[in-house]
A and B are shown apart, each in its own frame.
Chain A
Amino acid sequence: MSLFRQAARIAWKDLRVELRSKEIVATMIFFGALLVVIYSFAFPHDDKAVRSSVPGMLWVAIAFTGTIALGRAFDRERENDTMRALLLSPVPRLAVFLGKAVAMAALVLSVAVIVTPLLALFLDAPLFDYAGELALVVVLGALGIAVIGSVFAATLLKVRSRDVLLPVILYPLLVPLFVAGTKTTAALVQVHPNTEAAWYWIRFLGIYDAAFLVLSLWVFESLVIE
């Protein structure tokens, strides 16, 4: 069985667990929706204010829901010590990592898919004028969060204070990702959209994701030992 098929099988296992319980997706979508409601009370609604603050709102929501989802998803592997079983199974660690990262990316994305239209609806934000570019940057952002997040959530599995440490580790490292995400979104929702700037930051994010994917594949094995 090739590496990618093994990875796909592990990803599918995670997604199937999630599809049966719907625990993370349901709670995170609710949490994301609550964030949007809080935003609508906390920020002014005039067109200019919305255009300048909606990129931040979107990416803060992705950051918050993403880290919580990551923590919970890896907690599942801890509860019955199934992470050990997974690492002991006759597949390379790389496949375990890739499978986990793909499943995590799907989870983060599923929340973003709900939160983005909600923002557009409640705040009347012009998020879908450039739907293709926006979708691309959100997918790249979710991938980056999932890749780096999976490495550290897996390493923190046995640490008692993992819930607080995961954001402490992830947010400083993910700053370039969030900045690229907000800059792209901001360029797209301006009164005079600047697609050139948007594509600059999309390329930046693509290179960022690629670099950290390679790095993660490289260090995962030495970081996650049982």
Chain B
Amino acid sequence: MKKLAVPVFSVLGAIGFVVSIYLIFMKTGLEYGVDERTGRLAGSSLFFNQKIFYFHVAQAIVLFTAVFVAGISSILFLWKRRPAFDDVASASTEVAVAFGAAVLVTGSIWAKAAWDVWWNWEPRLTMSLLLWLILVGYVLVRRFAGPSADRVAAGMAIFGMVGVPFIYTMVGADSHPPSGVNGVVLTLGKRLLPAFLASMFTFFAWFIALVLTRIQSTRDEREVRELREQGLDLGVLE
């Protein structure tokens, strides 16, 4: 069962990828806006670019999930002191850093199409950036904090998770205009849903497969290190 998990989720992700690409490009409409002069539907500034929405939102939700996965497993790690929890936290953070980079890039492309700037401190984009910075900090701590890296990083994950509601209120209180996402959902209506769910499924399957692989490699690393130490103790290795 355990050995099967990674291949199963990878295959599910691969199938989901094909299906969601098909649904996104063949089954959903293009983004239209109402032309103010004629009162008729016309291609908006987003038009074809809107299709990045399906991947962008799915990746963003994975990023948010990873912050909580890391936070909760770090609490369990500090509480139970079992390295398995720490492995989960570090693996999901590392994978989420990659997903977060994708969120920022796709969000930036969206911003260019919708508002003609690469970056405009739109609340959700800002929040993704701040969470991503916490995760990058976590990875840096992990790499450079030496033997106590697991504790320091666990603390950072917990503090980061508790900070999420504050970051959320903080960006929400800013008086930005509502982002274009609401408009998109309105114009695309129900046809949006299957493609959206398919890409959510794809990215979660992919995320789980990557995290499980990363956990396994951390365990292997630890095992190799322990075997090496044993070998050194026994005088077999130099």
- Identify the A interface with B (CB < 8 A): 148, 151-152, 155-156, 158-161, 164-165, 168-169, 171-173, 175-176, 179-180, 200, 204, 208, 211-212, 215, 219, 222-223, 225
Contacts and interface: CB of A to CB of B under 8 A. Distances in A.
16 contacts: A152-B152, A152-B155, A155-B148, A159-B149, A161-B144, A161-B145, A164-B144, A165-B145, A172-B160, A175-B133, A175-B167, A176-B163, A211-B166, A212-B162, A222-B78, A222-B79
Interface of B: 78-79, 130, 133-134, 136-137, 140-141, 144-149, 151-152, 154-156, 158-160, 162-163, 166-167, 169-170, 173
A156 B167 contact: no
Contact of B162 (A168, A171, A179, A211): A211
B141 A168 contact: yes
B151 A155 contact: yes
Nearest to A200: B173
Contacts of B130: 172, 175
A204 B152 contact: no
B contacts with A: majority SS: helix
B76 to A, nearest CB: 11
Contacts of A156: 145, 148, 152
A165 B173 contact: no
B174 to A, nearest CB: 9
B50 to A, nearest CB: 30
Contacts of A159: 145-146, 148-149, 152
A28 B156 CA distance: 26
Given A180-B170, A212-B162, A223-B78, A172 B146 contact: no
Contact of A168 (B140, B154, B160): B140
Residue from A148, A161, A175 having most chain B Cβ neighbours under 10 A? A175
Chain B CB count within 10 A is highest, among A165, A172, A175, for A172
A160 B162 contact: no
